[in-house]
């Protein structure tokens, strides 16, 4: 086990500074371990197994895999064949086979800390998946130099979720160590498949937020530099992700071109018309055909085409409009070329407002804590996050939620093959979560 060398450390006998240093070293090690064994969405078997292992060793009540996932709500997951290969790989890479077997082919975990004292239920959400990116092996890329570049070709933590997971595990240890200062119930949600906004819905639909009064999540990096912190976020774009498959008919392009039903021309027509959907006067809209693959051979009229598409909107209504127009275009591009088509929803996220009252207590707590240089009022995101679905779920049940940004120097942009971040943000994130959790029960005595 990676952190076995620290087993001899006697927490009780150490100073606060020594304890912090001990924790920081530990979460940096966690981060590098997850970075090295990067697993992208719905493939996080080693990652989940490791989370379960740590949480159980700390004394948490832990649920995982099928216990926290509602399969019918799962979007954008590989075929069972591919999942089986990833389970095999995860075990080969040291994932506990007994834990993985228990997970029932699904990833993600929830750890519960019951303080035994009355108080609210606070959910903390950490996303755990990597990106489908081939990590840089350049000599100026720190993970390469320091030996924790991803071992899994084509999967890389290029967004910082390795850091989120590390903060979550460190925080779990800290809270357990400081359990006597806490009230109510704390739920650690380790969510799979945030990339592509695929995972949140399946956890919500499993009911894991049914008892939650307060919800906290957040992200490291983005536009905020080291030392800055935002207690709330705006500019979540509502989004829908779809895969489209056109099925026509092949034919020899030289001898029988008229016999084909050209799926590429259907896809080409769809693409150019989808990109021509006009902008909306009431707010930001986006649409992208990100991937198009068609055809089987140079001399055959393409019988198949697949497209990966996303729509976005500043409001859910705007996204819905973009989505409807996109669907209509696809339908008629197919019909025009005598193709069948199939649309699969691969992800979705909404747009929300963080609760001002909660954000204010978070902001003041961070100011008081004195570990960040500056607390900005609010940070603009301009992207999509399926934490929004969880935030809305909690708010709809009468709870409160916010999404924080933890400033951090980053090497190359998010999702870039040379992404990296300054690990000093990790212990700061841990301490911010910890202090806010202590403060929340004072916010509302009624819940």
Binding site: what residues are annotated? 159, 161, 195, 219, 415
What is the end-to-end Cα distance of the chain in Å, rounded? 40
Separation between Cα atoms, residue 384 and residue 258, nearest integer Å: 44
**CB of residue 333 to a second copy, shortest distance in Å:** 7
- Annotated binding-site residues for Mn(2+) read 159, 161, 195, 219, 415
**E strand or H helix at 58:** helix 45-58
**CB of residue 396 to a second copy, shortest distance in Å:** 25
State yes or no: residue 440 binds a second copy (CB under 8 A): no
Residues 359-398, one symbol each (x = binds a second copy by CB under 8 A, - = not), give -----------------------xxx--------------
In the set 293, 356, 367, 397, which binds a second copy (CB under 8 A)?
A: 293
Separation between Cα atoms, residue 12 and residue 60, nearest integer Å: 20
Give just the sign of the alpha carbon dihedral 257, 263, 264, 268. positive
Coil vs helix vs strand at 310? strand
Residues 131-160, one symbol each (x = binds a second copy by CB under 8 A, - = not), give -x----------------------------
Applying CB under 8 A, which part among 120-128, 209-217, 264-272, 352-360 lies near a second copy? 264-272
In the set 47, 107, 121, 271, which binds a second copy (CB under 8 A)?
A: 271
State yes or no: residue 408 binds a second copy (CB under 8 A): no
CA 199 to chain centre: 7
Contact between 162 and 135 under an 8 Å Cβ cutoff? The reply is no
State yes or no: residue 310 binds a second copy (CB under 8 A): yes
Alpha helices by DSSP H, listed for 217-315, are 263-274
Separation between Cα atoms, residue 181 and residue 44, nearest integer Å: 33
State yes or no: residue 260 binds a second copy (CB under 8 A): yes
**CB of residue 273 to a second copy, shortest distance in Å:** 6
Coil vs helix vs strand at 189? strand
In the set 85, 276, 342, 442, which binds a second copy (CB under 8 A)?
A: 276
Contact between 26 and 173 under an 8 Å Cβ cutoff? The reply is yes
State yes or no: residue 205 binds a second copy (CB under 8 A): no
- What is each CA distance from 168 to 123, 164, 176, 189, 413, in whole angstroms? 11, 6, 12, 9, 23
180-206 as b/e: b if 16+ CB within 10 A: eebbbbbbbbbbbbbbbbbbbbbbbbb
State yes or no: residue 258 binds a second copy (CB under 8 A): yes
Alpha helices by DSSP H, listed for 337-423, are 356-369, 387-396
In the set 28, 317, 321, 343, which binds a second copy (CB under 8 A)?
A: 321
Applying CB under 8 A, which part among 67-75, 90-98, 163-171, 268-276 lies near a second copy? 268-276
Q: In what order do the strands lie in the sheet with 400-406?
A: 61-64, 109-114, 185-191, 121-127, 214-220, 400-406, 228-230, 374-375
State yes or no: residue 257 binds a second copy (CB under 8 A): yes
State yes or no: residue 177 binds a second copy (CB under 8 A): no
Cβ proximity to a second copy: between 102 and 414 the closer is: 414
Contact between 150 and 213 under an 8 Å Cβ cutoff? The reply is no
In the set 12, 147, 290, 398, which binds a second copy (CB under 8 A)?
A: 290
Cβ proximity to a second copy: between 64 and 408 the closer is: 408
Q: Given the structure tokens 């747009």, which residue do they identify?
A: 351
- For the segment 334-353, give every residue that binds a second copy (CB under 8 A): 335-338, 346
Q: Given the structure tokens 């080693």, which residue do they identify?
A: 46
**CB of residue 141 to a second copy, shortest distance in Å:** 18
In the set 281, 396, 398, 445, which binds a second copy (CB under 8 A)?
A: 281
Cβ proximity to a second copy: between 61 and 415 the closer is: 415
Contact between 420 and 142 under an 8 Å Cβ cutoff? The reply is yes
In the set 111, 302, 363, 399, which binds a second copy (CB under 8 A)?
A: 302
Q: Which residues bind a second copy (CB under 8 A)?
A: 132, 196, 237, 239, 241, 252-258, 260, 262, 264-265, 267-269, 271-273, 275-276, 278-282, 284-286, 288-302, 308-310, 312, 321, 328-329, 331-333, 335-338, 346, 382-384, 413-415
């Amino acid at each position: 086990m990676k952190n076995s060398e620290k087993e001899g450390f006697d927490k009780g006998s150490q100073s606060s500074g020594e304890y912090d240093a001990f924790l920081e070293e530990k979460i940096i090690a966690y981060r590098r371990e997850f970075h090295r064994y990067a697993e992208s969405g719905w493939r996080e078997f080693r990652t989940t197994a490791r989370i379960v292992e740590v949480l159980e060793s700390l004394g948490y009540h832990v649920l995982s895999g099928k216990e926290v996932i509602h399969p019918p709500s799962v979007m954008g997951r590989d075929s069972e064949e591919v999942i089986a290969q990833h389970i095999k790989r995860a075990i080969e890479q040291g994932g506990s086979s007994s834990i993985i077997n228990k997970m029932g082919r699904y990833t993600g975990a929830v750890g519960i800390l019951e303080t035994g004292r009355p108080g609210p239920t606070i959910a903390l959400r950490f996303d755990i998946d990597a990106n489908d990116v081939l990590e840089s092996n350049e000599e100026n890329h720190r993970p390469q130099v320091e030996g924790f570049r991803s071992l899994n070709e084509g999967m890389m933590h290029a967004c910082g979720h390795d850091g989120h997971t590390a903060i979550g595990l460190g925080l779990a240890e800290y809270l357990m160590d400081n359990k006597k200062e806490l009230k109510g119930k704390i739920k650690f949600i380790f969510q799979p498949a945030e990339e592509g906004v695929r995972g949140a819905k399946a956890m919500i639909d499993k009911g894991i937020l049914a008892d939650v009064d307060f919800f906290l999540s957040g992200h490291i990096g983005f536009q905020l530099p080291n030392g800055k912190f935002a207690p709330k976020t705006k500019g979540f774009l509502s989004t829908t992700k779809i895969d489209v498959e056109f099925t026509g008919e092949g034919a020899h392009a030289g001898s029988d071109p008229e016999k084909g039903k050209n799926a590429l021309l259907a896809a080409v027509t769809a693409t150019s018309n989808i990109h021509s959907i006009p902008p909306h006067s009431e707010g930001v809209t986006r649409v992208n055909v990100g991937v198009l693959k068609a055809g089987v051979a140079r001399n055959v009229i393409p019988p198949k085409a697949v497209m990966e598409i996303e729509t976005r909107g500043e409001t859910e209504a705007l996204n819905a409009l973009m989505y409807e127009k996109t669907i209509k275009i696809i339908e008629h591009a197919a019909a025009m070329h005598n193709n069948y088509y199939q649309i699969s929803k691969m992800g979705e996220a909404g747009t929300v407002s963080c609760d001002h009252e909660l954000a204010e207590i978070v902001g003041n707590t961070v100011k008081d804590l004195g570990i960040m240089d500056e607390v900005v009022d609010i940070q603009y995101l301009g992207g999509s996050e399926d934490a929004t679905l969880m935030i809305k779920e909690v708010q709809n049940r009468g709870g409160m939620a916010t999404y924080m940004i933890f400033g951090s120097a980053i090497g190359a942009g998010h999702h870039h093959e040379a992404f990296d971040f300054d690990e000093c943000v990790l212990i700061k994130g841990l301490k911010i979560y910890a202090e806010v959790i202590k403060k929340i029960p004072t916010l509302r005595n009624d819940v």
